[in-house]
Amino acid sequence: MFAEKLAGRIDGFTLAEEGRRMGLYFYFREIVSEPGTEVVLKGGRRALMLGSNGYMGLTGHPEVKEAAVKALNKYGTGCSGSRFLNGTLDIHIELEETLSDWLGKESSILFSTGFQVNQGVLATLLNRHDVVLMDACDHASIFEGARLSMAKPERFPHNDMEKLETILSEIPREKVKFIVVDGVFSMEGDVCRLPGLAALAERYGAALMVDDAHGLGILGRQGAGTADHFSLTDSVDLIMGTFSKSLASLGGFVAGDRQTVEYLKHHARAFIFSASMPASSSAAALAALKIIRREPERMGALWRNTGMMKEGLNGLGFDTGLSETPIIPVYIDDAYTLMMMCKRLEEEGIFVNPVLPPAVPPKNSLLRVSLMATHTTQQIDFALDVFERVGKELHLI
């Protein structure tokens, strides 16, 4: 057995199977329909989707699908190579230029996934002589990129500007200092303290990068994200984003000054040695971006839905922490109770995501509720009724 060759590392993992036996395993659930506000699970059960990152509700938009189909017919299913060699299409260039214009940066570069962006950028720009400073709640891809870079990692408590300044003040001035944070934190649902971060970066001569995977589409003018929301685009050196959330596709990018992007194009191994985005994914992202920019009412609908859900959950007595975005955590410290809550919600027609350590700190287990612009008032009312009924049943409220 292969597992035996790894001294029990594989066969010692039994947690997933134990969860399945108990009927409390809610990962890799099979969806057999389009991922809209309602989905159909394998077996035919319908559920209200409150676990999607598609904040703008564009994955099923006719224009987005039509753009992807047209690109598929024109370019085929893939490029069969990296951007560095035979995998650069004109639609890649168009998307990069459109992103740069949207975010107010000189240049952009596409990666095949968002994870690869953070991994590739940090591992390329930093080395063992540098210091990378990260919020304790940053995405896992940031920590992976920092590890690969071999820069000295410094984590500061979540959104704690005082502690960050203490750390910065102790680093020699001549050292390269790179601050990287989420714009919107993917589990907590709160926003980074960008004004404080920008001020500290300037004071201590640090570079500043914002991972805006969850901020694009929901913050800023025309959904241009966290930096635009705070009018600090020029103070942020690099803005990273993904297409798998508001932009209804797959892939990632980073935007910044032309010289840095040019360097990344020729040195980032995660970019050079990966196959490029399929044209269909690029076309879908482009179409979604155009819709977001021309239809600001989508952001308005998203924030109305967010307010209704958050106020409703808080009114029922659920703890939603510091959330200030369409990501609304419902904290349930006990893991077994959390999974029971998830089970009962699904049985009542609600799809939500359970989040357990190590994805969150110990005793911070949560149900991750997320809203879309396309949810209706009736759907949110239905969800709140179910949360109230199940919450009382499990003695959570």
**pLDDT tens per residue across span 123-163:** 999 999 999 999 999 999 999 999 999 999 999 999 999 99
Tokens of 111: 């990666």
Within-domain flag for 2 = no
**What pLDDT sits at residue 18?**
86
Residue partners of 68: CB distance under 8 A and separation at least 6: 249, 280, 281, 283, 284, 287
The reply to whether 379 and 231 lie within a common domain is no
pLDDT in tens, 107-117: 999 999 999 99
Catalytic residue flag (residue 92) = no
**What pLDDT sits at residue 54?**
97
Last residue of a domain, which of 278, 294, 310? 294
Q: Which entry of 61, 105, 214, 375 is annotated as an active-site residue?
A: 214
pLDDT band at 11 (very low <50, low <70, confident <90, very high): confident
pLDDT in tens, 240-265: 999 999 999 999 999 999 999 999 99
The better pLDDT of the pair 90, 11 is held by 90
Last residue of a domain, which of 294, 310, 344? 294
The reply to whether 239 and 377 lie within a common domain is no
Mean pLDDT value across residues 56-83: 97
Q: In what order do the strands lie in the sheet with 207-211?
A: 107-111, 252-256, 238-242, 207-211, 177-182, 131-135, 152-156
The reply to whether 287 and 304 lie within a common domain is no
The reply to whether 300 and 268 lie within a common domain is no
293, containing H or E segment = helix 279-294
Any idea what the CATH number is for the domain that residue 154 is in? 3.40.640.10
Asked if residues 179 and 209 have their Cβ atoms less than 8 Å apart, the reply is yes
**What pLDDT sits at residue 324?**
96
**What pLDDT sits at residue 216?**
98
The reply to whether 31 and 66 lie within a common domain is no
Q: What's the rounded Cα separation, in Å, for the pair 28 and 263?
A: 38
The reply to whether 194 and 269 lie within a common domain is yes
- What does DSSP say about strands 252-256 and 238-242: parallel, antiparallel, or unpaired? antiparallel
- What does DSSP say about strands 177-182 and 207-211: parallel, antiparallel, or unpaired? parallel
Any idea what the CATH number is for the domain that residue 384 is in? 3.90.1150.10
Catalytic residue flag (residue 365) = no
**What pLDDT sits at residue 1?**
60
What contacts 24+ positions apart, CB below 8 Å, involve 89-94? 89/276, 89/279, 89/282, 91/279, 91/282, 91/283, 91/286, 92/276, 92/277, 92/282, 94/282, 94/286
Which domain covers residue 133, as residue numbers? 62-294
Mean pLDDT value across residues 193-207: 98
φ, ψ of residue 256 in degrees (nearest 5): -170, -155
- What does DSSP say about strands 107-111 and 252-256: parallel, antiparallel, or unpaired? antiparallel
Catalytic residue flag (residue 235) = no
The reply to whether 275 and 328 lie within a common domain is no
Tokens of 245: 């959330």
Q: In what order do the strands lie in the sheet with 46-49?
A: 38-40, 46-49, 350-351
For residue 2, pLDDT beyond 80: no
The reply to whether 205 and 345 lie within a common domain is no
Would you say the C-alpha torsion 60, 61, 64, 66 has a positive or negative sign?
positive
What is the per-residue DSSP string for 162-218? HHHHHHHHTS-TTS-EEEEEESB-TTT--B--HHHHHHHHHHHT-EEEEE-TTTTTT
Q: Count of CB atoms within 10 A of residue 384's CB? A: 17
Q: What's the rounded Cα separation, in Å, for the pair 247 and 216?
A: 8
Reduced 3-state DSSP string for 321-339:
CCCCCCEEEEECCCHHHHH
The reply to whether 209 and 120 lie within a common domain is yes
Number of C-alpha atoms within 13 angstroms, CB side, residue 130?
21
Within-domain flag for 5 = no
pLDDT in tens, 314-355: 999 999 999 999 999 999 988 899 999 999 999 999 999 999
**What pLDDT sits at residue 92?**
98
The reply to whether 300 and 321 lie within a common domain is yes
Mean pLDDT value across residues 361-388: 95
Q: Which entry of 105, 158, 229, 245 is annotated as an active-site residue?
A: 245
Within-domain flag for 6 = no
Q: Which entry of 186, 274, 281, 370 is annotated as an active-site residue?
A: 186
